[in-house]
A and B are shown apart, each in its own frame.
Chain A
Amino acid sequence: MKVADILIHLMLVILMPPLMLGVINRTKALFAGRTGAPFLQPYYDLFRLLAKGTVFSRTTTWVFRAGPIVTLAATLAASLLIPLGNHLPPISFNGDMILFVYLLVLGRFFTTIAALDTGSSFEGMGASREVTFSCLAEPVVFIALMTLSRLSGSLSLSGILTHSSIALWRTSGAALILLAGGLFIVLLAENSRIPFDDPTTHLELTMIHEVMVLDHSGPGLSMVLYGAAVKLYVLGAFFLQVLLPFRVADPLLGWLLFIGSMFFLAGMIGVVESVMARLRLPRVPQMLLSACILSAFAMILVLR
């Protein structure tokens, strides 16, 4: 039984992430009145890129080549720490939440350093924006983790994230709502979605994340895109675990419930992207600051 759960966990985090992108794109198409690409289009794109050749600029070093690999590996490793639905993650120990956050940061570090390695001024600009926003997003996650760990009395992600229940919503619902607001902003900012960044933009001056991966091609680009999808999946699961009380006795029903709510979350992201315009760049730090304040409020409410 335990082995089966681990296998399902691995299958979900490896196979499902691109489907989330498919759902987001389909929702956006629906809002725009188009039919939209098929749900499996992100998979086709990934395989198409895998079959292509790679071009490396002569100014780049091994750092550039290592970038996508390390990013993808770090993100996949982070996905092993997070509980999905009612099921415990394959790896869990006290304090693994810090490892979880910094695995994601390691991935980002290698993306930015690979961008700097190309020597392109545009990519340097994107890297600078990316790290600026991430150092504002990181406190939000940590304040949220502190609050949740205080609520659940546990120091590991598996304890923190499976604590949410209807009884908890009744006693400290206000704090959970505030955390939800802050974490949703971080979810959108970290995954460079609208209103923080547009994943489909191709104008260098406005890009943040996309500008850093301009020099990657072929399998490298495929790994970058896949890594971004996994990151969206992992952070989306984190967000859902904080909020939704997954309390069903039947294991199979638990998995189905989790998958269903992930699709719902993808739909919600699609709706947000359809109804909102991109923020002006100077407004982004202000938005992240508000997210920080939301989670700080939640902490005050829990501590007092």
Chain B
Amino acid sequence: MNSAVDQLLIIVLLINIFILGTHRPRVAIRAIATQGIILGLMPLLIHPFQIHILVITGFVVLAKGILIPWLLYGAVQRVGFHEQMQPLLGYSGNIIAGALATVLAFIFAARLPLAAMHQGLLIAPAAMATILAGFIALGSRRKAINQVLGYLLLENGIFIFGLLLTRSMPFMVEAGALLDLIAGIFVMGIIINQISREFSSIDTSRMNTLREVD
């Protein structure tokens, strides 16, 4: 059971790097949808079968795999966002930063005082690496849409960490977090729309000065 989870987590780590290195926002959205679906299915593999786990799996897959990507896709479509992502470090710099973050996550996770049953698992380093990848994506992207992607990566990392705790943390907490996330993406979609209508560009690095719009 655990080796299958480890294999899936490797795919999750690769998707992190892929999102950091890809040029096209639509491809990145599809990749993050895939990551969400993989993560959503993971509780089924880790925990003994129960009906409420099945229900929550369905919700997570629906939210992370379909609803949020669909909202983002809509936002990209409306803004007519065809340009490349233009990260601050360059694509190669982003990939290297992601790889370094992953290595650091592995080193750090090896020193964490985890419970004995979680010691050899990939879950803790994968969670840390995904959170760091989310930070890199958030910090290095100029466009609001791509920053949303970083935000999603961050949430996925927290979700992976939550997998370790599901015994003590009820899934209801995760459900609440998902609801927040959807609301957040919704607001971001509206904001992106608003930005593009007001400023003819959604480049947030140009928005560092206050000025009146008339």
Residues of A at the B interface (CB closer than 8 Å) are: 170, 173-174, 177-178, 285-286, 289-290, 293-294, 296-297, 300-301, 304
Q: How many angstroms from the CA of A174 to the CA of B9 in the assembled complex?
A: 10
**Residue numbers in B under 8 Å from A296 (CB-CB):** 99, 103
A178, A286, A304: the one within 8 Å of B95 (CB):
A286
Query: Does B10 contact A178, Cβ atoms closer than 8 Å?
Result: yes
Q: How many angstroms from the CA of A27 to the CA of B95 in the assembled complex?
A: 34
Query: Does A304 contact B110, Cβ atoms closer than 8 Å?
Result: yes
Query: Does A286 contact B10, Cβ atoms closer than 8 Å?
Result: no
**CB-based nearest B residue for A294:** B14
Query: Does A286 contact B91, Cβ atoms closer than 8 Å?
Result: yes
Query: With contacts defined as CB atoms under 8 Å apart, how many contacts are there between chain A and chain B in the complex?
Result: 40
Q: Mark interface residues in B99-113 (1 if CB within 8 Å of A CB, else 0).
A: 100110010001000
Q: Is B202 an interface residue (CB 8 A)?
A: no
**Residue numbers in B under 8 Å from A174 (CB-CB):** 3, 6-7, 10
User: Which secondary structure characterizes the binding site on chain B?
Assistant: helix
Q: Is B31 an interface residue (CB 8 A)?
A: no
Q: How many angstroms from the CA of A293 to the CA of B129 in the assembled complex?
A: 14
Query: Does A289 contact B95, Cβ atoms closer than 8 Å?
Result: yes
Q: Mark interface residues in B4-22 (1 if CB within 8 Å of A CB, else 0).
A: 0011001001100100010
Residues of B at the A interface (CB closer than 8 Å) are: 3, 6-7, 10, 13-14, 17, 21, 91-92, 95-96, 98-99, 102-103, 106, 110
A211 to chain B, nearest CB (A): 25
**Residue numbers in B under 8 Å from A301 (CB-CB):** 10
**Residue numbers in A under 8 Å from B10 (CB-CB):** 174, 177-178, 297, 301
Query: Does B106 contact A300, Cβ atoms closer than 8 Å?
Result: yes
Beyond A173-B7, A293-B98, list 8 extra A-B contacts (CB 8 Å): A170-B3, A174-B10, A178-B14, A286-B21, A286-B95, A297-B14, A297-B99, A297-B102
**CB-based nearest B residue for A181:** B14
User: Which secondary structure characterizes the binding site on chain A?
Assistant: helix
Contact A304:B106 (CB < 8 A) given known A290-B21, A297-B13: yes
Query: Does A286 contact B102, Cβ atoms closer than 8 Å?
Result: no
Q: How many angstroms from the CA of A156 to the CA of B21 in the assembled complex?
A: 35
Contact A285:B92 (CB < 8 A) given known A290-B21, A300-B103, A300-B106: yes
> Which of A174, A296, A301 is the most central at the interface, judged by chain B CB atoms within 10 Å of its CB?
A174
Q: How many angstroms from the CA of A300 to the CA of B108 in the assembled complex?
A: 13
A290 to chain B, nearest CB (A): 6
**CB-based nearest B residue for A175:** B10
B86 to chain A, nearest CB (A): 14
Query: Does A293 contact B99, Cβ atoms closer than 8 Å?
Result: yes
**Residue numbers in A under 8 Å from B21 (CB-CB):** 286, 290
> Which of A177, A178, A293, A296 is the most central at the interface, judged by chain B CB atoms within 10 Å of its CB?
A293
Q: How many angstroms from the CA of A294 to the CA of B99 in the assembled complex?
A: 9
**Residue numbers in A under 8 Å from B3 (CB-CB):** 170, 173-174
Q: How many angstroms from the CA of A177 to the CA of B95 in the assembled complex?
A: 20
5 inter-chain pairs at a CB distance below 8 angstroms, sorted by A residue, are A174-B3, A177-B7, A290-B17, A293-B95, A297-B13
**CB-based nearest B residue for A171:** B3
Q: How many angstroms from the CA of A289 to the CA of B97 in the assembled complex?
A: 12
A175 to chain B, nearest CB (A): 9
Contact A286:B7 (CB < 8 A) given known A293-B99, A297-B102, A304-B106: no
**Residue numbers in B under 8 Å from A177 (CB-CB):** 7, 10
**Residue numbers in A under 8 Å from B99 (CB-CB):** 293, 296-297
**Residue numbers in A under 8 Å from B91 (CB-CB):** 286
**Residue numbers in B under 8 Å from A300 (CB-CB):** 102-103, 106
**Residue numbers in A under 8 Å from B98 (CB-CB):** 293
Query: Does A293 contact B17, Cβ atoms closer than 8 Å?
Result: yes
Smallest CB-CB A-B distances: 9 pairs? A174-B10, A293-B99, A174-B7, A286-B92, A300-B106, A286-B91, A289-B92, A289-B95, A174-B6
